[in-house]
A and B are shown apart, each in its own frame.
Chain A
Amino acid sequence: MSEQTTRIDVRKTYKLYVGGAFPRSESARSYEVHGADGGFLANASLASRKDARDAVVAARKAFGGWSTRTAYNRGQVVYRIAEVLEGRRAQFEAELRQAQGVDAAQAAASVDAAVDRLVWYAGWADKLAQVVGNANPVAGPYFNVSVPEPTGVVAAIAPTDPLLGLVSVVAPLIVTGNACVVVASEEHPLPAITLGEVMATSDLPGGVVNVLTGRRAELGPPLASHLDVDGLDLAGVSDPALATELEVLAAENLKRVRRPAPAERPEDLLAEPPLERMTTFVETKTVWHPRGL
């Protein structure tokens, strides 16, 4: 910033992204977010368990419409998120450099990877059913077919990597038709809310993705135990005790749980993701009908 200017910056207030809107935490709490250099960046909303429950309600409300969109349409929307992200890449690069202390090339590579990941998943929307679905040759006069369907509302704890980590958990969930509540990187929450702004302007219906900022240990349990949540992705939980606690809570209504990668084999976010990221949160439905003249 130039010495000569007298203009004062207009700073952004980072709030939550829930139901397509940007509310503050109902608790009116916030926490200080610092950059890699230790400097103050912003006050992020410190979401409460009530915010988590509100986000689940928003996700459930959005699920019906989103899951019945055509696969082609869901693919278009995810592709649109990639386009809008690409258009705002300078902002993300700046945020990543501040948050993580990475250099310009590393920040650019991160944004590249996030955009490319969204494009990759967008293409999956209308192919997954062809790859994991089946016509089944039953021994009788019946038509029989198995198809994947979204699990429902999935809660996810995002990895620490602020942008690519978030995209890596959110994109597979929504491209298959799920709605989600995602707890952003606790350490670097700000790019997640900026990504919320991208999603809010990408024709993604409000509530399909809901982003909370705050403590994993505080937001994890109410999401893991919520009876209207059908699945739980623990990708960003590095504390084994917390991961076990959340998996135990998830058993109450038999949530599908994706366990965190073991510490000795951390997930490589830059590698092509395994299909399992999508298929953990789809259900196989098999339909029978008699044949006859």
Chain B
Amino acid sequence: MTSTAHPAHQAHATGSAGPATPFAESPFAYAPAPESTAVVDLRDSYGLFVDGTFVAGTGTPFTTINPATEEPLAQVAEASDADVDAAVRAARRAFEQVWGPMPGSERAKYLFRIARIIQERSRELAVLETLDNGKPIRESRDVDVPTVAAHFFYYAGWADKLEHGGHGTTPLGVAAQVIPWNFPLLMLAWKIAPALACGNTVVLKPAETTPLTALLFAEICQQADLPPGVVNIVTGAGATGRALVEHPGVDKVAFTGSTEVGRGIARAVAGTSKRVTLELGGKAANIVFDDAPIDQAVEGIVDGIFFNQGHVCCAGSRLLVQETIAEEVLDRLKRRMETLRVGDPLDKNTDLGAINSAAQLARIRELSEVGDAEGAERWSPACELPERGFWFAPTLFTGVTQAHRIAREEIFGPVLSVLTFRTPAEAIEKANNTPYGLSAGVWSEKGSRILEVAERLRAGVVWANTFNRFDPTSPFGGYQESGYGREGGRHGLAAYLQGGHA
């Protein structure tokens, strides 16, 4: 375990899995390789994007910070109820006068344009995402931003082919979209691309800790000459989101975030004609059978829980490993965790960046302490964390039972709970023993076993011998309390068309 933010520190691997390796002699010793921030032109303050222009908000402005340094990045406007109302009205006008009547083939061209500009400005978007969110530049550059562009390309192509999609061609109207901080730009793309392709207009609220890439996206809409009011971005916290979701002028609510907030939205829209899709929490089981390819499984476990600091609703946060190979898997997993590099998100070598906020760090610490108190055994590699910013070392708990809170509640951080099983039936039962149902993983070289286990897992996405793969063509969304509706693929059109179903 090394800290890229403090390369001079000597970190010692003191875990049980391997010999202590002085940093300087480690084959994993890298020189710092920070990405330049020169490509980003940060303004001191940002307004709301309403009806094609940036306007001052009438709420109380707030500061967004870099979670890796705690330094302020910019002042951002807070949208009041009146600002939200203005944005919804702008979206309604654009829907009725411009975007709704426009032929799909023309809407498509705007979306293709946006996709191209995202590619052209990809480094700028990636650096800004990493600054505001704390995720490693390697991920924002190689995963988030390319997938964002791909999403716009994919749905651009649907805009003039809706009659072949099975959900009709009639848009819903104005969509209210509220997105989380873990994949700020990617969640924006998942929301805006299908909505616009189907002929809706949108008012989107990014998370209060990560508003900046959404505001840069607003500039991209301007560069693309997207008609005013088709996309509106209102920034703020829970109150702004509530005003947007409950606004009587919206026809559709799309939310990604916590199950608790999702419940509130489901209650708020009860008795209305608003359509709703919710993509909520998860507590995914990642099942490793004794015939699994173990090296690949270890990589998949690491990717499953430490990708994006574990700030992933579909994270593989419960490892279910067959008892006969548990010791071997844990030894190899610990050895692998010792090579993870935690620190400066802008460093191209970094594997784990900063926790997104002080509040999230407090939540991760609290649940980890509950894990200690309930008797699970905590292990982290020796780890030197930067002094400023929000950090949490990659962590695993062994001796976890199904009753432990760390096996039941979403931690949303780099914390893995390890449970064991003896038979496939036991693995399936434990995997399904959760009110969630977003994703699951299964590792085995036996094809028939994979297909049977995949069928019996009650989860919307099952990764077999892989984990955390995303693609614009592939529907994503959960069972049970992980929410309803699908994003991505042909299924993703259903959320934004009158004839939409499943």
Q: Which residues of A contact B459 (CB under 8 A)?
A: 285
Cross-chain contact B477 with A284 (CB below 8 angstroms): yes
Pick the contact of A138 from B259, B271, B460, B471 — CB < 8 Å? B471
Q: Which residues of B contact A288 (CB under 8 A)?
A: 461-464, 466, 469, 474
- Could you say which interface size class chain B belongs to? 35 or more
Q: Mark B464-475, 1 if CB is under 8 A from A, else 0.
A: 111001010111
Q: Mark B249-279, 1 if CB is under 8 A from A, else 0.
A: 0000000000100111011001101000010
Q: B140 CB to closest chain A CB, in angstroms?
A: 18
Q: Does B476 contact A (CB under 8 A)?
A: yes
Cross-chain contact B460 with A286 (CB below 8 angstroms): yes
Cross-chain contact A279 with B501 (CB below 8 angstroms): yes
What's the Cα separation between A275 and B168 when bound, in Å?
12
Q: Which residues of B contact A285 (CB under 8 A)?
A: 454, 459-462
Q: Which residues of A contact B135 (CB under 8 A)?
A: none
Q: Which residues of B contact A40 (CB under 8 A)?
A: none
Q: Does A37 contact B (CB under 8 A)?
A: no
Cross-chain contact A136 with B502 (CB below 8 angstroms): no
Q: Does A21 contact B (CB under 8 A)?
A: no
Q: Which residues of A contact B501 (CB under 8 A)?
A: 132, 274-276, 279-280
What's the Cα separation between A144 and B472 when bound, in Å?
12
Pick the contact of B469 from A132, A140, A252, A276 — CB < 8 Å? A140
Cross-chain contact A280 with B502 (CB below 8 angstroms): yes
What's the Cα separation between A247 and B268 when bound, in Å?
10
Q: B461 CB to closest chain A CB, in angstroms?
A: 5
Cross-chain contact A134 with B489 (CB below 8 angstroms): yes
Cross-chain contact B475 with A247 (CB below 8 angstroms): no
Q: Does B480 contact A (CB under 8 A)?
A: yes
What's the Cα separation between A196 and B413 when bound, in Å?
50
Q: Decide: A146 near B483, CB < 8 A? Known: A139-B150, A287-B464.
A: no
Cross-chain contact A286 with B476 (CB below 8 angstroms): yes
Cross-chain contact A254 with B463 (CB below 8 angstroms): no
Instruction: List A263-293 residues whose CB lies under 8 Å from chain B.
Output: 274-276, 279-280, 282-290
**In this complex, what residue of B is CB-closest to A131?**
B166
Q: Mark A102-132, 1 if CB is under 8 A from B, else 0.
A: 0000000000000000000000000000011
What's the Cα separation between A167 and B150 when bound, in Å?
44
Q: Does A87 contact B (CB under 8 A)?
A: no
Q: Which residues of A contact B464 (CB under 8 A)?
A: 287-289
Cross-chain contact A134 with B483 (CB below 8 angstroms): no
| Number of chain A residues whose Cβ lies closer than 8 Å to a Cβ of chain B | 42
Q: Does A27 contact B (CB under 8 A)?
A: no
Q: Does B95 contact A (CB under 8 A)?
A: no
What's the Cα separation between A252 and B473 when bound, in Å?
31
What's the Cα separation between A132 and B494 when bound, in Å?
11
Pick the contact of A256 from B280, B471, B484 — CB < 8 Å? B484
Cross-chain contact A290 with B465 (CB below 8 angstroms): yes
Q: Does A70 contact B (CB under 8 A)?
A: no
Q: Which residues of A contact B270 (CB under 8 A)?
A: 244, 247-248, 250-251
**In this complex, what residue of A is CB-closest to B271?**
A244
Q: B114 CB to closest chain A CB, in angstroms?
A: 19
Q: Which residues of B contact A142 (CB under 8 A)?
A: 466, 469
Pick the contact of A251 from B166, B267, B480 — CB < 8 Å? B267
Q: Does A38 contact B (CB under 8 A)?
A: no
Q: Does B481 contact A (CB under 8 A)?
A: yes
Q: Which residues of A contact B491 (CB under 8 A)?
A: 132, 134, 146, 284
Q: Which residues of A contact B473 (CB under 8 A)?
A: 136-139, 144
Cross-chain contact B454 with A254 (CB below 8 angstroms): no
Q: Does A65 contact B (CB under 8 A)?
A: no
**In this complex, what residue of A is CB-closest to B296?**
A290
Instruction: List B446-462 residues whose CB lies under 8 Å from chain A.
Output: 450, 454, 459-462
Cross-chain contact A146 with B271 (CB below 8 angstroms): no
What's the Cα separation between A42 and B474 when bound, in Å?
54
Q: Does B412 contact A (CB under 8 A)?
A: no
Q: Does A165 contact B (CB under 8 A)?
A: no
Q: Which residues of A contact B489 (CB under 8 A)?
A: 134, 136, 146, 286
Q: Does B123 contact A (CB under 8 A)?
A: no
Q: Decide: A134 near B461, CB < 8 A? Known: A230-B480, A288-B469.
A: no
Instruction: List B28-55 residues whose CB lies under 8 Å from chain A.
Output: none
Q: Does B181 contact A (CB under 8 A)?
A: no
Instruction: List A135-184 residues whose CB lies under 8 Å from chain B.
Output: 136-140, 142, 144, 146, 148, 151-152
Cross-chain contact A248 with B278 (CB below 8 angstroms): no
Q: B337 CB to closest chain A CB, in angstroms?
A: 23
Cross-chain contact A254 with B262 (CB below 8 angstroms): yes
Cross-chain contact B259 with A144 (CB below 8 angstroms): no
Nearest 4 pairs between A and B by C-beta?
A: A244-B271, A279-B502, A251-B266, A247-B270
Q: Offer 6 A-B interface pairs, CB within 8 angstroms, sorted by A.
A: A136-B473, A144-B471, A275-B501, A283-B437, A284-B477, A288-B463
Binding site for B on A (CB under 8 A): 131-132, 134, 136-140, 142, 144, 146, 148, 151-152, 230, 240, 243-244, 247-248, 250-254, 256, 259, 262, 274-276, 279-280, 282-290
Binding site for A on B (CB under 8 A): 150, 166, 259, 262-264, 266-267, 270-271, 273, 278, 280, 435, 437, 450, 454, 459-466, 469, 471, 473-477, 479-484, 486, 489-491, 501-502
